Structure 1
Amino acid sequence: MGAEDDVKAGRPLRLWGGRVLPEWLDYNGHMTEHRYLQVFGEASDAFYGLAGVDFANAAEGAYFTLETHLRHVAECKVGTVLRADTQVLAYDEKRLHLLHRLFDADATLLATGEHLSIHVRRGKSAPASEAMLAVIARVFEVQKSLPMPERVGTVLTRPLAYHRA
Structure 2
Amino acid sequence: MDGGEGRVVTPYEGTGHGEWDDTAEIPAPLVLHRTTISPAWVDYNGHLSESCYLLVFGDNSDAFFRYLGIGEQYRADGHSLYTVETHMHNLREITEGEPIRLSIRVLDHDAKRVHIFHEMYHETSGTLLAMAEQMLVHVDMEQGESCEMPPYLRRRLSAIQRAHGILPRPEVIGRPMGIRRR
Same fold? TM cut 0.5: yes
Contact 1:19 1:80 in 2 (8 A): yes
Paired residue type of 1:115? Q
Q: Structure 1, unaligned stretches of length 5 or more? A: none
Q: 1:21-32 residue pairs with structure 2 within 5 A?
A: 21-32=38-49
Q: Higher mean Cα deviation, 67-76 or 43-52?
A: 43-52
Q: How far is the alpha carbon of 1:8 from its aligned partner?
A: 2.1
Counterpart for residue 151 of structure 1: 172
CA distances 1:36-64 after superposition (whole Å, capped 9, x unpaired): 00000011111111122221122261111
5 Å-filtered alignment, 1:11-26, equals: 11-26=28-43
Which one of the candidate residues 122, 139, 144 is aligned to 1:120? 139
8 Å Cα contact 1:95/1:119 also seen in 2: yes
Unpaired runs of 5+ residues, structure 2, are 1-19
Offset, 1:157:
4.2
Residues 107-157 of structure 1: CA distance to partner in whole angstroms, max 9, x if unpaired?
A: 110000111011011322111111211211111011112100121111324
Q: Which AA in structure 2 matches 1:40?
A: F
Residue in 1 that maps onto 2:6: none
RMSD: 2.0
2: CA distance, partners of 1:160 / 1:12: 36
Question: Which of 28, 34, 59 pairs up with 1:42?
Answer: 59
SS of corresponding position for 2:58: helix
Counterpart position of 1:63: 81
CA distance in 1, matches of 2:93, 2:176: 20
1:130/1:10 CA distance change after superposition, 3 Å: same
* Poorly superposed stretches of 4+, deviation over 4 Å: none
| Cα distance, 1:9 vs structure 2 | 5.8
2:129, 2:36 → 1: CA distance?
A: 13
Q: TM-score scaled by structure 2?
A: 0.80
The structure carrying a bigger helix percent of its residues is 1
Percent identical residues = 31
1:90 paired to 2:111: no
Q: Following the alignment from structure 1 to structure 2, what is the Cα–Cα distance between the partners of residues 146 and 22?
A: 34
Paired position in structure 2 for 1:110: 129
Mapped partners of 1:19, 1:158: distance in 2: 34
- What secondary structure, in the 3-state scheme, does the structure 1 residue paired with 2:40 have? helix
Which stretch has the larger CA shift, 36-45 or 149-158? 149-158
Deviation at 1:160, TM superposition (A): 7.5
CA contact (8 A) 1:88 1:97 kept: yes
Q: Aligned residue pairs: how many?
A: 157
